[in-house]
Amino acid sequence: MPSPNSDTTGDGGIHIRNVSHRYGKGDNEVTALGPVNLDVDPGAFLVLVGASGCGKSTLLRLIAGFEAPSEGQVQVSGSAPSPGVSAGVVFQQPRLFPWRTVGGNIDLALKYAKVPRERRAQRRDELLDRVGLESTADRKIWEISGGQQQRVAIARALAAETPTFLLDEPFAALDALTRERLQEDVRQVSAESGRTTVFVTHSADEAAFLGSRIVVLTRRPGQVALDLPVNLPRTGVDPDDLRQSAEYTELRAEVGRAVKAAAA
């Protein structure tokens, strides 16, 4: 068992080999994705960006192990991903239990993650502290804002000490200011935890701000159109300075152009 402050487990590397995915049968068959080849280093912050319908969520679900690819192979830490074990996942909607408290939602996740009962309270407090919700543990979900609810969803995804952390357009429904705050927090939480993070978005701004690597997908069936390493600092940087830097501004423009070209 890792120490309470260390979330790194397993190696967290992701290997995607000749992966394609189809939905439906016969005349209704749709090839949503592929073929895609990607190798993601442990601890990387990979952003998948592309137009709506290009297969981003499909690729994320394959990495989470929610579905098996129609063709090819997906491995996380060297084996086929297993739902709930390989990855913590955050969706666009927080999907919490609204009648439970903030703390109660985390407790449940810790229970499912098989954290021993006597360790849960401390672990819950650490997780809520990490997402800035230490004073809201006793509030009901329906009493807190959308941004706070998404913070709870992030804490919940971190509850199981999975080697990877997957987020599917988690801030799309939030106002711009809340979105920026949460982007800053996810950037930091991910760097601190050392987990491999895969973040799906259609926003070039978000991709440029978050990624240590940015992969732009073509329109459906999604294939890798651009694979860009990012050299912006990961820690010890003021987010506002980062957003105003020439490097960020250039990167954002480059990603924006690539997304547009890839969708055409």
Ligand X SMILES: Nc1ncnc2c1ncn2[C@@H]1O[C@H](COP(=O)(O)OP(=O)(O)O)[C@@H](O)[C@H]1O
Residues pairing with 89 in the sheet: 166
Q: Reply yes or no: is the peptide bond before residue 35 cis, omega within 30 of 0.
A: yes
User: C-beta of 79: minimal distance to ligand X in Å?
Assistant: 24
17 burial via Cβ count (<10 Å: 0-12, 13-18, 19+): middle
Other CB atoms within a 10 A radius of the CB of residue 31 amount to 17
Instruction: Round to whole Å and give the CA distance between 194 and 186.
Output: 12
Q: Is 105 in the site for ligand X (CB under 6 A)?
A: no
**Nearest partner of 198 among 31, 13, 70, judged by Cα:** 13
Q: Is 62 in the site for ligand X (CB under 6 A)?
A: no
Beta carbon nearer to Mg ion, 57 or 183: 57
Beta carbon nearer to ligand X, 40 or 263: 263
Task: Give the interface segment with ligand X, choosing from 50-58, 174-182, 204-212, 250-258 (CB under 6 A).
Answer: 50-58
The site partner of 23 among ligand X, Mg ion, none (C-beta below 5 to 8 Å per kind) is ligand X
Beta carbon nearer to Mg ion, 57 or 212: 57
Q: Is 121 in the site for ligand X (CB under 6 A)?
A: no
Kindly report the backbone phi and psi dihedral angles of residue 186, in degrees, each rounded to the nearest multiple of 5, phi listed first: -65, -40
Total number of residues that touch ligand X (CB under 6 A)? 13
User: C-beta of 57: minimal distance to Mg ion in Å?
Assistant: 3
Integer CA distances (angstroms), 62 to 10, 15, 68, 185, 219, in order = 19, 11, 6, 26, 18
Residues that bind Mg ion (CB under 5 A): 57
Residue among 220, 230, 252, 259 that touches ligand X (CB under 6 A): 220
Q: Is 196 in the site for ligand X (CB under 6 A)?
A: no
One-letter amino acid for residue 160 of the chain = A
Residue among 10, 55, 81, 88 that touches ligand X (CB under 6 A): 55
Q: Which residues bind ligand X (CB under 6 A)?
A: 23-24, 30, 32, 50, 52-58, 220
